[in-house]
Amino acid sequence: MKIAIIAAEIAPWAKVGGLADVIGALPAAFRAAGAEPVVIVPGYKAILDVVHATPVATGLSVTLEGAPEEFSILQASDARGTPMQLIVHDGYFGREGIYGTDSRDYPDNLRRFIFFSRAAAHAAAILKPEVVHAHDWHAAAVPIVMRADPVLAAQFKHTLRVFTIHNLAFQGIGTRDDFDLLGIAPSYFSIDSVEFHGLMNLLKGAVRIADGVTTVSPTYAHEVTSSPELGFGLEGVLREKNGRFVGILNGADYHEWDPAHDEWIASKYSPAHRDGKVACKRALLEAAKLPHRETTPLVGIVSRMTSQKGFDLLHDALDDVMRLEMQLIILAAGDPLMEKFFQRAESHYRGQLCVMLEFDNSLAHRVQAGSDAFLMPSRFEPCGLTQMYALRYGSAPVVRATGGLRDTVSEFNPASGTGNGFVFDRYTASEMVAALARMIKIYHDVSAWQRLMTNAFAADFSWERAATSYLQLFEKLRRDLAIS
Ligand code: ADP
Ligand code: GLC
């Protein structure tokens, strides 16, 4: 089965969050399962600077609001050897950032990613895939133009259109004027496709038009169809897909995230040889300029700094959290006001709190390896990958029971020895503090903690399982919709 995967991020070169990790790992898993994937991503400067790419096609163009925009397609391999096509347009993708710089988005992102989607759809048409698998709002125009552009519709008559939602908080919303960027008939600005409350909504259009829609965990799939807060207005539209909207839990990329062969960390370790983790903790404390205290658990956070990730909760609860006997390292960048707050808090809680306001992959690995526990108090979480990485590093996740966090972490029960972390239900400071207090109590019971670590190490979220689920879904949809 030939699959064209279209997305705006790809690890390790163009990464803002978990979408990049998924696009960096899923294609290899598809190949291992016998499929034939090709990844299509923007030809960002960050990629073109480092990969060896050869031309596939030049002098192509799509017309945006009456003016032709030229692009070329280059062919390279992704980091795991899967064919990767790059949509090259210097004006849109020759910039330093992916979506912007210094936490400010580029003002023309709608235009950039509608252009990308249209160009990528043309690139996919040349490949003649059985399935086009587009991800998130940046590629949401792909299934839309595959149906609404008559030339593309003819080329894709036998192609299944699947759309995966990684985060419903970002929908690609614009005006009626922005709709013209799609270059499709005005009739598509309607309730049956991309119009939503008088605006253009690309994600909504993709949900309507795609043959199948997925999201990245079963619980999130349930939540977004049942809760207006989490559905961000699209709960009804998603419900209408019925069996053609499903949640498939992401995998964790253990090629990149495994303490047994992690090149970034102070000392490698494994479930059978855990000593290295002690050395990793020491090295991390030293880097964070925190004193080493034998019996104090070290809690890590690696995150975008946004309210999605629970930073407003942590803001409200920080004094109570700091009253607990624990140290906290926050590696996070994002919201400038939150950054300022946590930076100030660091000087207030010197020796107990370290705040690193950066996006740094090697530090992310070192925080995972050196922490005893990993805090993720998300308001909502479509899947969440960092808690899966934490488990692999033997760091106990302390999470709020939402989305993929609910699907991957379970409360440790010292009596039965089951569970791999600590889970709280309500988005309140007191529940979060109570979960951290439970963690600390277990930490002081050495044998219970070793048991908890064993359970954490044993969690296995392989991409093979996820890739197989996707392939089964693609086959089922092709059968049900009689696409052949
Ligand atoms: P999301 O995609 O919502 O940000 P995920 O848990 O799915 O959350 O994925 C986040 C990815 O981004 C992980 O690979 C994580 O290590 C990485 N990451 C997040 N924040 C940082 C940071 N400040 N520095 C380095 N890596 C980060
Ligand atoms: C989004 C979500 C995150 C998910 C990631 C990869 O960024 O916020 O929960 O893990 O996509 O699917």
Shared domain for 301 and 425, answered yes or no, is: yes
Atom in ligand 1 nearest the alpha carbon of residue 15: 12
Quickly state the pLDDT bin for 294 (edges 50, 70, 90): confident
Residue 336 inside a domain? The answer is yes
- 184 found inside a domain: yes
Distance 383 CA to ligand 2 centre (A): 5
For 274-280, the CB contacts below 8 A with 24+ separation are: 274/394, 274/453, 277/369, 277/370, 277/393, 277/394, 280/366, 280/369, 280/370
Q: Which domain holds residue 305?
A: 275-460
The owner of tokens 């906290």 is: 328
The reply to whether 291 and 239 lie within a common domain is no
Q: Residue 20: which pLDDT band, with cuts at 50, 70 and 90?
A: very high
The predicted model gives 236-255 an average pLDDT of: 96
Q: How far apart are CA 254 and CA 462, in angstroms?
A: 8
Q: Are residues 351 and 396 in the same domain?
A: yes
Residue 269 lies in a domain: no
On whether residue 267 sits in a domain, the answer given is no
CATH number at residue 400: 3.40.50.2000
CA 119 – ligand 2 centroid, Å: 25
The percent of residues above 70 in pLDDT, for the chain, comes to 100
Q: Which helix (H) or strand (E) holds 476?
A: helix 463-480
What confidence category does residue 484 fall into, taking pLDDT thresholds of 50, 70 and 90? confident
pLDDT at 103 over 80: no
Please check whether residue 362 lies inside any domain of the structure.
yes
Task: Specify whether 172 is located in the same domain as 321.
Answer: no
258, part of any domain: no
Establish if 92 belongs to a structural domain: yes
Q: With a 6 A CB cut-off, is 332 part of the ligand 1 pocket?
A: yes
Quick one: 299 and 243 in the same domain?
A: no
- pTM, two decimals, is 0.98
pLDDT of residue 203: 98
Quickly tell me which residue has 């829609």 as its tokens. 213
User: Same domain for 221 and 365?
Assistant: no
CA 412/CA 398 separation, integer angstroms: 10
For residue 20, report the distance from its CA to the centre of ligand 1, in Å: 9
pLDDT digits (tens, 9 = 90+) for 189-245: 999 999 999 999 999 999 999 999 999 999 999 999 999 899 999 999 999 999 999
Same-domain pairing of 225 and 374:
no
Same domain, 322 and 211: no
Q: Give the ligand with the smallest distance to the CA of 397.
A: 1
CA 350, CA 325: separation in Å to the nearest integer? 14
Residue 440: what residue type? I
Domain check: are 165 and 295 in the same one? no
The CA 265 to ligand 2 mean position distance, Å, reads 24
List the residue whose alpha carbon is closest to atom 24 of ligand 1. Answer: 359
CA of 219 to the centre of ligand 2 (A): 13
3-state secondary structure (DSSP) of residue 173? strand
CA pseudo-torsion sign 171, 176, 179, 185: positive
Is pLDDT above 80 for 434? yes
Residue 248, pLDDT above cutoff 90: yes
Crossing angle of helices 311-323 and 336-348, in 10° steps, is: 10
Does one domain contain both 300 and 233? no
CB-defined site of ligand 2, < 6 Å: 17-19, 22, 166-167, 216, 250, 381-385, 404
| pLDDT above 80 (res 350) | yes
In a domain, 260, yes or no: no
Q: Assess whether 432 and 476 both reside in one domain.
A: no
471 and 425 in a common domain = no
Count how many domains the chain has: 2
